[in-house]
A = this chain, B = another copy of it.
Amino acid sequence: MAGSTYGRLFQISTWGESHGRALGVVVDGCPAGLALCEDDIQKFLDRRKPGQNAFSTPRREEDSVEILSGVFEGKTTGCPISMLVYNQTQRSADYREIANYYRPGHADYTFDKKYGFRDYRGGGRSSGRETIGRVAAGAVACKILASLGISFTSYVRSIGPVEIDPARFCEAEISRNPLNMPDAAAAEQAAEYLSKCKANGDSAGGVVECIVRHLPAGLGDPVFEKLSANLAKAICSIGAVKSFEIGDGFSASRARGSENNDGFVCREPGSIQKLTNHSGGTLGGISDGSELLLRAGFKPTPSISVPQQTVSRSGEPLTVRVKGRHDPLIAARAVVVVESMAAITIVDALFANMYARMDAITDFYK
């Protein structure tokens, strides 16, 4: 239950700092018999790699993953899967300067207040590189889900003021543009907006959307272990996330009951469906068999070279411009992180649901 461990049944423990020797994760609770190799993980890590386009940091990171345990003869054994990525470039010198003051929008101040000092190199544990462990674990979770036919569509919905037009939604487009938007025109507009931000030494926020298909009904438990509640925690635990919605989200708060309720229909025997999906795939916090839809709001990258007012550790006023090679946008690279955290949470709910009924238990042990 310490800070870097997540999940009840499918449990991950991430570790590592931005400029430490390595970063990684231990996945405990993965079932035996899943085909798994380093390439499965690497594909996911490559989706969060920087240096892929004009809008991401020019740092060159290889982020090459190694599986150290839990896989034997190409299959998971049921024992913990330890995965790590060694850090290649550790230009700590860039960061020596920031050791002594608090960068606005970063965790520098709160880490110092909590722990008395901090690993200031590149944000240490609060760096975006912390998500390497999440994504490696997410790759495992997605592989489990894929074997059950459950799939994800994740993308950037908006960047600053630029939002996708649902009428132009095109899933294939997501991987064609560097901003992971499913709308080519919006992606172009967003690129212009980002160019201006970058030119000004500024950054932009954005919203990531994630759709999960073919989820069985019944996942999540009543009250505190609602699937929706655990997704909220999973998503809001990602650095820079400030908001979360499921289904219509805040729009539902402006709607009337007659608009927001999803009616039921039975189009073929034995298959009850909802007529609409304002709820975003859960009812009472439990998956209802329709598409799960969630949204994560990311704040703008806090590292900007626009001058900002701050103080040194001892309280002297300073004006700073944060140097270094930073993305002007977090949302695009975070798409795979959102998908990973959702997948990990869903796997946990899938396992927990297996002992919800006596008849299932009796069947299993027959």
Contact = CB atoms under 8 A, between A and B. Distances in A.
Q: Give this chain's copy count.
A: 4
A255 B223 contact: no
B77 A118 contact: yes
A37 interface: no
A250 B250 contact: yes
A26 B33 contact: no
B236 A15 contact: no
A25 to B, nearest CB: 8
Contacts of A306: 257-258
A104 interface: yes
A231 B243 CA distance: 11
A357 B78 contact: yes
Contacts of A202: 256-258
A258 to B, nearest CB: 4
Given A282-B110, A315-B270, A357 B222 contact: no
A239 interface: yes
Contacts of A264: 102, 104, 109, 309-311
A160 to B, nearest CB: 6
A202 B286 CA distance: 24
Contacts of A257: 105, 197, 202-204, 300-304, 306, 328
Given A113-B218, A242-B249, A70 B15 contact: yes
A59 B257 CA distance: 21
A246 B242 contact: yes
Interface string A214-226: 0011100111111
A359 to B, nearest CB: 6
A99 to B, nearest CB: 10
Nearest to A354: B354
Interface residues of A, number: 169
B288 A110 contact: yes
A289 interface: yes
Interface stretch (A6-14, A44-52, A182-190): A6-14
Interface string A231-257: 111111101011111111110111111
Interface in A90-105: 102, 104-105
23 contacts: A1-B1, A2-B80, A3-B29, A4-B224, A6-B223, A22-B68, A31-B360, A72-B118, A105-B283, A109-B264, A110-B286, A114-B286, A147-B362, A160-B254, A202-B257, A203-B257, A203-B258, A223-B237, A226-B237, A269-B315, A350-B355, A354-B354, A360-B364
Contacts of A34: 358
Interface in A329-358: 331, 350-358
Contacts of A81: 15
Contact of A158 (B14, B158, B254): B254
A117 interface: yes
A80 B351 CA distance: 19
